[in-house]
Structure 1
């Protein structure tokens, strides 16, 4: 059998060098030779593949995160590199903590999100350049741009980091009259408010409010900063008052809500003023100061009337009814609650209808007017059936069942006391069927059974049964 000589295979220099570095290559390659071979490979790639530089080769070899970090260091942005590296380490710590608690965390690592890394590089390096030149306002603007970019539920911790950086830089800005510092105080207040640290949030909002007094500064959406400061401070004071009321610290809660009302008046927004009045009235009601609460709620209803705000007007009437109910003035409370039901139905507020009807049913139930109570509980039940909320339906069924039971007890008592044949037949019929039957009131005279009445009824019965009468 004839064998052909082996064909000569032409190998490129790159292939030869790569083949020599394989694990099966004989002998041990010195380190100096390996470095020289790497340089030869890089030179070969640069010569034979035009346009492919060492940096581009490194970009293909390294991850995008590493490339960004290398670019920062190569361009001399060591501070930006340190901050970015610290953020990545913080993410790793959060990931490890979630993994240790067997929690599933949907957030991806920063190195897998090139868009975010690009924003880091762009704004951090610009901020560092501005800081070197002493342009602190530009530093603030770049850091604030990063905070806005990461303002989402997934990256809120990154946003908070840059809010804190903006707050520190804003202290160094002296050319804008304190506007950046005011904005930074607002951001820090929001940060603490979201974390539930209301006292710290109130301190920052108070500083925000003081810096914006008498100023006509506006934010990027066109809202006056002073108005936003008043709104934020009123909201925080209300949350603080809620915690005080839970601990039954009524005087402290009323004091801070009075302060909130004063700040709301300064903001010159009638809706905020009405909201502050409503919560102040609730605090007075919780403290048992009914007359003061009634005055505050009437002011609130006046504001709602001026603004033609039916929803707030209905809430004001409901609050007034609660105060009147606490004072025992049930008739007046019923009038206000009926207005609430009417307003709520006109505005298709089913929950308000339910709440008002339940309150009316409870009042009538206490007054002993069980038919009326059953009627309002039935309205509440029908509304909840439309909403298909099981828990609310069950609660209303209990109220409705109690009112019907009271109504039935009154009916049975009346039939038993009447002691006539019709009443007895009704009782026997109900005992056989156990179904609901409408009550027909028995005349009052038939319930008063005396000895003379009994003799007269017996005499009348004898005459009726006599043969002459039968003929």
Structure 2
């Protein structure tokens, strides 16, 4: 599952550090001189203080008090997470945030840019800088907590943007939905995906891969509705599961993906089967077989074998279905493909 990020990255990854002697210079001057090879001119004063302290002093001198406060809070949060995990944990073996100059550079760069944009009332720029931190700068597994923090900041900022037709708000709901889903909060994820779907109806917005936001919303809702239905079936809530899977099928059809539609139909037929409505289950299965006949043979087999791949959705109840049900449908398709009469 991939988060929605900016169309392209415009910021520099290695940022700035203006030190005592040159604190009055514009921030970009440090990069200018540093990459011309004049490191020693700037790095002499840094020996007096830690890297973190020099960055913090510079932010305060230039008036970025909110950025300083946020950076300090994040460092404290990392230390608290490390202490809570204790010796022997993965995070205990990592360097602290204040001991990683590249990450401090990135935080300093984008936080101050976001603060400057906020002062000017340009909330779309605030959002973009926060998203750069979440999507590009902190995408390693060890930085998951930091990435999630900035996705949450993006979500809060997106509510203030009024000039982009709701695109960034939609993007923020999609990203928060993914975070909620990863954390096991399925109902919360569904709420975010539903708003994402509503905001993208009729739009032509696309992600980096060329998929429309609305088709992504349909895919997310199909997946999350299937997970919700699975939990309902575990609790013997058959009718509620059927209603939820009907919604999942609707999303699959709107998404325009025949494989997804075939799987959604398959899950719905199983729900009817578990509910004891065998005739309805067979009629839904009939629709499924007619659907796969309109697809290439390899793809159609993929749909009918989808029950063997349900664990990728985390769907334990569907995975534990009667294997004879899948075998019957597979045999049926193979016979039809080999020339047998179709439902004569």
Fold match by TM threshold 0.5? yes
What is residue 68 of structure 2 aligned with on the other side? 81
1:169 to 157, 166, 171: 157
1:115 to 102, 107, 111: 102
What is residue 302 of structure 2 aligned with on the other side? 312
Per-residue deviation, 1:336:
5.2
Per-residue deviation, 1:248:
1.1
- Number of matched pairs: 283
Per-residue deviation, 1:119:
0.8
Could you list the runs of 4 or more consecutive aligned residues of structure 1 that deviate by over 3 angstroms after TM superposition? 55-58, 316-319, 322-326, 333-342
Per-residue deviation, 1:135:
0.7
2:190 to 202, 216, 219: 202
1:133 to 109, 112, 120: 120
Residues 104 and 180 from structure 1, CA distance in 2 versus in 1: closer, same or farther, beyond 3 angstroms? closer
1:256 to 244, 248, 258: 244
Counterpart Cα distance in 2 of 1:282 and 1:82: 54
Residues 179 and 324 from structure 1, CA distance in 2 versus in 1: closer, same or farther, beyond 3 angstroms? closer
What is residue 422 of structure 1 aligned with on the other side? none
Aligned 1:148-227 pairs, distance under 5 A: 148=135, 149-227=137-215
What is residue 286 of structure 1 aligned with on the other side? 274
Counterpart Cα distance in 2 of 1:127 and 1:336: 56
Counterpart Cα distance in 2 of 1:317 and 1:266: 22
Structure 1 residues 175-184 or 69-78, which shifts more?
A: 69-78
Counterpart Cα distance in 2 of 1:99 and 1:317: 41
Residues 189 and 324 from structure 1, CA distance in 2 versus in 1: closer, same or farther, beyond 3 angstroms? closer
Name the structure, 1 or 2, with higher relative contact order (CA <8 Å, separation 6+): 2
Instruction: Give CA-to-partner distance per residue, 1:90-140, whole Å, 9 cap, x none.
Output: 11111001117x534343211222111111111111100000001111111
| Residue segments in structure 2 that go unaligned for 5+ positions in a row | 1-38, 309-317, 336-344
Counterpart Cα distance in 2 of 1:219 and 1:338: 40
Per-residue deviation, 1:227:
0.4
Per-residue deviation, 1:87:
0.8
Per-residue deviation, 1:156:
0.9
| Residue segments in structure 1 that go unaligned for 5+ positions in a row | 1-50, 327-332, 343-471
Query: Please, what is the CA RMSD of the aligned residues?
Result: 2.8
> Which of these two proteins has the greater Rg computed from alpha carbons?
1
Counterpart Cα distance in 2 of 1:251 and 1:136: 45
Structure 1 residues 229-238 or 266-275, which shifts more?
A: 266-275
Residues 316 and 289 from structure 1, CA distance in 2 versus in 1: closer, same or farther, beyond 3 angstroms? farther
Is this contact kept in 2: 1:150–1:156, CA < 8 A?
A: yes
